Every structure is written in C-alpha cells, then in structure tokens.
Amino acid sequence: MEKFQKADIKKESSKSNLSVSVFNLYVTYFGSDKKRYQLEVPDAASKRAGDGYELQNQRKGFKRFTTYRTKELLEKMISYEQEKIDVLKDLRERVFSRFCDKFEEWNNAIQCLATLDVFMSLAEYCRCEEEVMCIPKFIPAIVGKKPLVELIEGRYPCGSGGESFIPNDTIIGKEEDGTWNSSLILVTGPNMGGKSTLMRQLGIISVMAHVLRLG
C-alpha cells in the first residue's frame, strides 16, 4: 500500500513537472509518519516555489515544502495504513480465538514434543560420549531421613579431559554403618585443581537426572 501511494505522489510530481518547470532539478522527499513526502530543494531553487507550495521547515542549504496534492495523497495513505492495522488486528483476534478453542490439544502436542526433545537430546549425548553412561536412581523421600546424593565416578558432562580427567565420587548425606555423612562438603585444593569443575559437575548431573525423571 505504501509503495502504491508513494508511486502516486511521484506520479503527481511528474504531472506537474516539479523537477523541470518549477525547480529545474530532481526533487527529493523528506520526513516520516504524518510529515512524510516533504519536497526538499536547495535554497537557490526554492525561490521558484509558487503560491501552491507551503514552507514546512528547513535545514542548512535546503528548504522543505508541501503542496495540497501531496497532503491529500498522504492523508489517503495514512487512512489506508490505519485500515490495514484494523484488519490485521481483527485477523489476529480471530486466529488467537481459534487457537484458544483448541488449547488443550495444542498443549498436549507441545508437551509431547518437549518430552521427545529431552529424550532425543539425552540419547544423542549418550551416543556421542565415549565414557560409560547410566540412568539415575531416585529414592523416595522418607520422613525423618535426610536427602542424599551418591555419585560414583562422576565426570563433568560439558567436556572431558580425556585420559587426564580423574572421575570423582561425591557422597552427601548417605547413611553408612548407621551414621550419616555430612550434608556439607568443603572442597580445597590448588588453583586449576578442579574445585569449580567438581561443583559444576555435581550440579549439572543433578539437573540432567531430574530432567530425565520428569521426562
């Protein structure tokens, strides 16, 4: 619609021979929104503007005019643009209404796709991983029992150090011989010794385990 109206304005300019008989040069258009299509001409040529040209503003070396016809065409363009907005708004409302009518079906489909995506991602990760993978085991919560974590020969999921990477056992809160291990672990060691990697390893593996369980 805008291209069509812009063509109309240029066509009208051609009919009135603006660039030849009035300013004797090519006229450029300036402006945005409701001030579009102002005729921008150099100061020297602006003296040729007649009574039908209304000065709107100016900048160094140039002046900008509008005419009755450019205003008329711009008003038509703005009305068409508003009509387009109204039509699209009504269309969106109808589309969303039809979508909401079948919300449960869409929601079930999305849940199925999300679950499939999780399983495919985990399967692809296991397929590409050189080390042995396993499925996590969850123990039901028992009243009076503390939560526990037992990770045997765990490896950092986001990158393997190859043969140089040493698997880590992480046991928190597990009952052994009638006693409970501490629920807090203090990790010490030199710089670049793997302390942060151990913490990230436990966190990411725990998240992956819960994702698999929820899936």
Domain edge (last residue) among 31, 55, 75: 75
What are the two backbone dihedrals, phi and then psi, of residue 69, each rounded to the nearest 5 degrees?
Answer: -70, -40
Could you tell me the residue range of the domain that residue 176 belongs to? 149-212
> Is residue 2 a contact partner of residue 74, using CB atoms and an 8 Å limit?
no
CATH number at residue 32: 1.10.1420.10
According to the model, what pLDDT value does residue 29 have? 85
According to the model, what pLDDT value does residue 178 have? 56
Structure tokens, 212: 């698999």
Q: How confident is the model at residue 18 (pLDDT cuts 50, 70, 90)?
A: very low
DSSP three-state, residue 5: helix
14 has a pLDDT exceeding 80:
no
117 has a pLDDT exceeding 60:
yes
What are the two backbone dihedrals, phi and then psi, of residue 136, each rounded to the nearest 5 degrees?
Answer: -70, 150
Q: How far apart are CA 166 and CA 118, in angstroms?
A: 28
pLDDT (tens digit, 9 = 90+) per residue, 67-79? 888 899 999 999 9
The answer to the question of residue 125 being in a domain is no
How many CA atoms within 13 Å lie on the side-chain side of 184? 1
Q: How far apart are CA 6 and CA 16, in angstroms?
A: 16
Q: How far apart are CA 58 and CA 15, in angstroms?
A: 25
pLDDT (tens digit, 9 = 90+) per residue, 86-100? 999 999 999 999 889
The answer to the question of residue 102 being in a domain is no
Count how many domains the chain has: 2
The answer to the question of residue 40 being in a domain is yes
The answer to the question of residue 9 being in a domain is no
pLDDT (tens digit, 9 = 90+) per residue, 169-183? 888 877 766 566 677
The answer to the question of residue 101 being in a domain is no
Domain edge (last residue) among 58, 75, 92: 75
Q: How far apart are CA 140 and CA 152, in angstroms?
A: 20
The answer to the question of residue 194 being in a domain is yes
19 has a pLDDT exceeding 70:
no
Q: Strand pairing partners for 151?
A: 170
The answer to the question of residue 65 being in a domain is yes
What are the two backbone dihedrals, phi and then psi, of residue 160, each rounded to the nearest 5 degrees?
Answer: -115, 140
According to the model, what pLDDT value does residue 214 have? 59
The answer to the question of residue 37 being in a domain is yes
